[in-house]
Amino acid sequence: MSSPSVPGWFEVAAPVVSGIVANKFRVSLAIDDYRQENQDALNVVQNIYLELTKTFRERGEGIRDVKSYAAKVSYTECMESLRRKYPGRTQLKNKIRYFLTHEPGFAVWETRLGEFHCGYAGWTAKEAASGASVNALAADPSKIPMRIKALDSMKAADWRNLADSIFEFLGDPVELDHMVAIIGSLFRIKDPPGEAPEPSVTPRPDHQLYLNEMIKRLWETLQDFEHRWLMAFLLNMPGYTKEARGEIEVFEKCGAASRAEIGRLLALSGKEYGFLADATPPAAADPGFAEGRMEMLWPHLPLEDILIANALGCEKQQVINLRAVAHQKAAKRMRELSLEKK
């Protein structure tokens, strides 16, 4: 993830990217948070890193302020993602922005980090209202002391009264997206769930390069894992959601490790192989070495957790717990590697 022309850019950009995306999508960005909105936000983070990686490799020396540039890219990607996902909110945002930029006394301005704030024209030097007060108003817009018409019936005077009420209540400027959230809550604007896009059969080249790099880094993190973690992780790899499973073939496909190398790392014992082979018809005789045992099991992967538990001599829930620990440690170590490889 690093660039030879701008050493250490990832270390500087990472907290900026995660902070902006977590704030915009109001999610945790935790790898074990399987809510759809969090998974969507993690995809946005990935897209931002792809864009930053490409930019710093191609013209990194021309970027003087890494933090500011990372913020601008993050805000842009967040806005594009939200625009696609919430067309109703986007339409409302356009109306609000048009009014505030054309009505005397109000303004929308861009901050140094590329975020858009709005408020009275004389407020451009002020800090934005606190998140707590904005969230409180969005959660209960009845605190705004005015009678609301239907959105389609709003005239210029109505928009001015509404804007005055919000700004006077907050006492400070507000992020434009937060203004949209407040007014959207007031008018109860909810976008219907859109149809899931058709999956792309062939990933974008830059996306595939990013995935390959991540898989190779994952393989590197697994080298010093305990045997029990490897059993739980490799024989039933975690996927993008709690229900989906990963494919162990990904290590071979991206050139991170061969099947034999995976077998050597996993180092299945003859006893463990016996438990697993007996439950994966047709049962194959023990080839007598770790690489061969992996070769025999390969067509049957991923295996059920109960089978892995039998081989380890533990309960199924313990296997699930072992995989969760391995997943968390892998994610932590991969972040550390990102900082080391600068």
The pLDDT value recorded for residue 107 is 95
The pLDDT value recorded for residue 203 is 42
Q: Backbone phi, then psi, for 22, in 5-degree steps?
A: -60, -40
Q: Within a domain: residue 199?
A: no
> What are the tens digits of pLDDT across the range 53-107?
888 888 766 788 888 888 889 988 888 887 777 788 888 888 999 999 999 999 9
**Does pLDDT of 213 surpass 80?**
no
Structural domain harbouring 313: 205-340
Residues 100 and 139 in one domain: yes
Residues 178 and 269 in one domain: no
Residues 226 and 331 in one domain: yes
> What are the tens digits of pLDDT across the range 221-238?
899 899 999 999 999 887
Residues 209 and 336 in one domain: yes
Q: Within a domain: residue 191?
A: no
Least confident of 3-7, 35-39, 61-65, 106-110: 3-7
Residues 156 and 283 in one domain: no
pTM for the structure as a whole: 0.44
Q: Within a domain: residue 198?
A: no
Number of structural domains the chain divides into: 3
Q: Within a domain: residue 2?
A: no
**Does pLDDT of 242 surpass 70?**
no
Residues 80 and 93 in one domain: no
Chain centre to alpha carbon of residue 268: 34
Angle at 143 between CA 138 and CA 148, to 5 degrees: 90
**Does pLDDT of 22 surpass 70?**
yes
Q: Give the domain-ending residue among 186, 220, 255.
A: 186
- pLDDT band at residue 208, thresholds of 50, 70 and 90? low
Q: Give the domain-ending residue among 84, 101, 129.
A: 84
Residues 17 and 41 in one domain: yes
Q: Give the domain-ending residue among 59, 84, 109.
A: 84
Give CA–CA dist 81/115, Å, rounded: 15
> What are the tens digits of pLDDT across the range 274-315?
888 876 655 568 888 999 888 888 888 888 889 999 999 999
Residues 228 and 328 in one domain: yes
Residues 273 and 335 in one domain: yes
Q: Within a domain: residue 194?
A: no
Residues 171-197 have a mean pLDDT of 75
> What are the tens digits of pLDDT across the range 101-160?
999 999 999 887 677 899 999 999 998 888 778 888 888 887 877 677 787 788 889 999
The pLDDT value recorded for residue 330 is 79
**Does pLDDT of 32 surpass 80?**
no
Q: Which residue has the tokens 């994610």?
A: 331
Q: Are 117 and 128 in contact (CB under 8 A)?
A: yes
Residues 312 and 219 in one domain: yes
Residues 154 and 213 in one domain: no
Residues 218 and 308 in one domain: yes
Give CA–CA dist 262/267, Å, rounded: 8
R_g over Cα of the chain: 26
**Does pLDDT of 4 surpass 60?**
no
Q: In terms of C-beta density within 10 A (0-12 exposed, 13-18 middle, 19 or more buried), how is residue 334 classed?
A: middle
Q: Are 54 and 205 in contact (CB under 8 A)?
A: no
- pLDDT band at residue 335, thresholds of 50, 70 and 90? low
Give CA–CA dist 129/133, Å, rounded: 7
The pLDDT value recorded for residue 324 is 81
Stated as kind and residue range, the H or E segment containing 229 is helix 227-234
- pLDDT band at residue 246, thresholds of 50, 70 and 90? low
